[in-house]
Structure 1
Amino acid sequence: MKSCSDPNQIYDEIMIARYKDSIHYDEHTSYSLSIKHDTELTSFGFINQLNLKTLDIIGCKNVDLSQACEVRTLKLEGCSLSSVEGIQKFQAVENIHLTDNFISDLEPLRPLTDLRSLNMKNNKASNIYPLQDLTSIIFLHLENNGISDISPLRFMRKLVIVWLMSNKISDLEPLKDLDSLERLVLTNNLISNLEPLRDLNFIFLNVERNFITDFSPIQTHRNFQRFLIRNQKEKK
């Protein structure tokens, strides 16, 4: 049994006292907690005692992922993370938001096969091969990561919404068999050929700021609610 002088227990008690009144309860009894710019937040051990479903951490710079917590939604935004080592222990998680960090290695995410959504906007994750086993993902946001190769997406057949703007993508062939795909944003890439998208039935497609001159592969789509093609760039 831990003594009352155990530093981990003392830390947990301090953090619980600090945040227990900040927990949000909605009509579905889904408990969520948002923590912003807390320099004393280092580990998540105390979270398991709060029975949370959603943990939203913004701008906390010393987060240690080695202590897992049983949340369904984990948000770590603007936390200066260069690694997500330890996140593989979050076995209950279904939604992960890691926006505005410095993450390059996605390998720790590979075991999280129950993930339904992943937001990696504004990171350094140019190699997305570790995601190819995450076949339950429906929503994927990889804006501004320096990605050129999207081959792993061909295995993610449940994808419905994909945001890939501001990368270095030129080849859309890996998307051609994603029959569930409804919304696709490819703004500001290196795309010139839309032929791989010919047989897909989008509701929304944004291919602005690319190098496309021929839009015929998608002009026959009947399900479009919105289709954005303006501001195409010229090859030099």
Structure 2
Amino acid sequence: MTTYFVTGTDTDAGKTLVASGLLALAQRHGRTTLGLKPVASGCDSTPQGLRNIDALTLRAQSEPAPAYTTINPYAYAPAIAPHLAARRVGEAPTLDDLITATTAPLAEKRGLTLIEGAGGWRVPLNDTEDLAGLAVRLGLPVILVVGLKLGCLNHARLTAEAIRADGLPLAGWVGNLTDPGLSFNTAADADCYHDNLATLERTLNAPCLGIVPRLTADTPAMRAASAADHLALPGDE
């Protein structure tokens, strides 16, 4: 399987960072790549239309790069839940719409294709459907990005349970250090951090594809390359 759905424990868990890093890593292995972000809110107005930084980051790691609207067919300006952002402009995309929008790019069967969700697993797409339903309809294995911070054990385990309850395999998980206040000043701090990772490894029952530390790279491309240094592709871990 070369197509995966990328979800996170919550908003800002680091889905785009991890997805772009995996795409960059696949390119190092000589694979063609494609990153899709079917629905995105928090988009900026540009002369070319609404553009989302996460979608642009995925496009930059897609080789060969398609048109922006292939990556992100449903773009909304407000930085709120996608179904609420869509409602503000009188839209309500459905899973059928997303299936239609992703059919052609998925048919290309690139070396690695990643479809990034929005927020966490249960983020609504509209009043009756969740965005996770796209992964279910396509039958995709899931990569879970765990934002490493206080509360992540509960969030990660619940998300893994929900993914499996929806009938999908958890292909792997990635820990992303998101908490700027997390301290390693003492041995006890470091021990607690590693104990948390051990708990995730024991309870998620899926391969760990890497642990991404806080990165200092300035640009999305540099961050993707740095993240790739800490990741393994599914099946290669």
TM-score strictly above 0.5: no
Higher strand share: 2
Larger radius of gyration: 1
Q: Which has the higher contact order (CA 8 A, sep 6+)?
A: 2
TM-score for the superposition, normalised by structure 2: 0.30
